[in-house]
A and B are shown apart, each in its own frame.
Chain A
Amino acid sequence: MSLRDDIKAISGQDVMLCFQCGECSSSCQMAGYKGFSPAKLIHSIQLGMEDVLRSRIYELCLHCFLCSVRCPQGLSFPDIATALSNIAVRRYGPGKIEKMFLDEITNKGFLNPATFALKTFGFSLPKYAGLKGLKAAPIIFERGNVRRELVEEVRRVAREG
């Protein structure tokens, strides 16, 4: 199956509908950053260029869905980006952030934003959040109180997923 068939199977999005009007890229808050452009990415997929998967450039999509409400063809780029991400996980395995996420959700069934901030920034966190960020210190150890049998179920589901 070609990449565009894979995308269609996962998300229902048919990239061939795109006629390159550029509305998505002109609506995009991320367009231009590291060369990111939804329209260009869709064009690459139309042409069968599979290296967009390796480059992981689709990860820059914010999933704000502004392009999707404006697309004259009713395409949803964020759904295409999600499909690309799912395909990349299947072909190459989960990346660093996906692993971190899976770890948290399978162990606790729960995500703590303070823990994630600490894992992302480490000891330079005060530089980003200021001294006021120290208020979050006691929260870092919060594990949620998700029912045990539900955590088990999530673990099972994540393994299948």
Chain B
Amino acid sequence: MQGRVEAYYPGCSARTTERAYLRTALFVLRKLGVEFRLLDDLPCCGTLEGELYSRELTRKLAEIINREANGRVITGCSGCYSTINRGGGSATHLVDFLFREVGLERIAEGIVRKVDLKVAAYYGCQALRPKELAIDDPEDPRVLEEILSLTGVQTVDFPMRTKCCGGPIALKEPDLAIRMAKDVVKSAEDSGAEAIATMCNLCHFMLDFYTSGLPILHFTQILAYSMGMPPDELGLDELFNPPRKGFGR
């Protein structure tokens, strides 16, 4: 990895409602000594809607993205990750990159303070399935918990951790989609979580925007804080459900 310059593709949402995700993800990468270019002027990956319109469109968008990136991209969005790869392109999920290419040991070295919080790690679908795109066991993943545990948080298991956030049908069946998002949050809450940590732009938007109560954090906000990012730069108050506990609060 030394000397290699990566390309980070944030996805559309990380440039709008999910800016805190982008900011904290980039902080974490810099802290870990990862060199990268930020590709924040590239087109949308097309997302599921693009694929449903035409698979050919998805292929062409993936081509544009990889061409402009000069090769593979790293992205924090599971939707972009899935869409680009399904379009025949090359994308690595940020969680996978941190776990496999940076490694837990190096991440642990970057941790300077602990976070005291009970966190439900939420995976959603797109980074776990189909099999060819699974960054971990498609039905019983552990990578996100392993990364988060380094920060001192206590991770809690909950039944909905690999279920759908409702995002893919938010436009077609909005009421049902919101009910699904609420089910995920309720499941985490019932399991004793004080916050949820997500690893996808769309999952975060669905859970944070359409539910109330439990703080919905980007997993990188926890990581960035424990790596020394000043609390007022974490974007906690940009969240629709800001945390009242942890992060020096």
Taking beta carbons and an 8 Å cutoff, which residues of A are in contact with B?
10-11, 29-30, 33, 59-60, 62-66, 68-69, 76, 78, 82-83, 85-86, 89, 94, 97-98, 100-102, 105, 109-114, 116-117, 120-121, 128-130, 132-133, 135-136, 139, 142, 144-147, 150-151, 153-154, 157-158, 160-161
In the complex, chain A residues whose CB is within 8 Å of the CB of B131 = 68-69
Q: Contact at B125–A64, with CB atoms within 8 Å?
A: yes
Q: Is the interface of A mostly helix, strand, loop or mixed?
A: helix
The residues of B with any CB-CB pair to A shorter than 8 Å are: 12-13, 15-17, 40-44, 46-57, 60-61, 64, 68, 125, 128-131, 134, 138-139, 163-164, 168-174, 176, 178, 180, 201-202, 205, 209-210, 212, 238, 240-241
Can you identify 12 A-B contacts, CB atoms within 8 angstroms? A59-B52, A62-B125, A64-B125, A98-B49, A102-B53, A105-B44, A111-B44, A129-B210, A142-B15, A150-B64, A154-B61, A158-B57
What 17 additional pairs, Cβ within 8 angstroms, besides A60-B172, A136-B240, A153-B43? Answer: A11-B55, A29-B164, A30-B169, A59-B52, A59-B169, A60-B169, A62-B169, A64-B163, A65-B138, A85-B53, A101-B49, A109-B43, A112-B17, A135-B240, A139-B17, A147-B41, A157-B60
**Given A82-B51, A116-B171, does the pair A66, B129 have CB atoms closer than 8 Å?**
yes
Q: What is the distance, in angstroms, from A71's C-beta to the closest C-beta of chain B? A: 10
Alpha-carbon separation in the docked complex, A150 to B16 (Å)? 19
Q: Among the listed A68, A145, A151, A157, which residue makes an inter-chain contact with B130, where contact means beta carbons less than 8 Å apart?
A: A68
Least CB separation from B47: chain A residue: A111
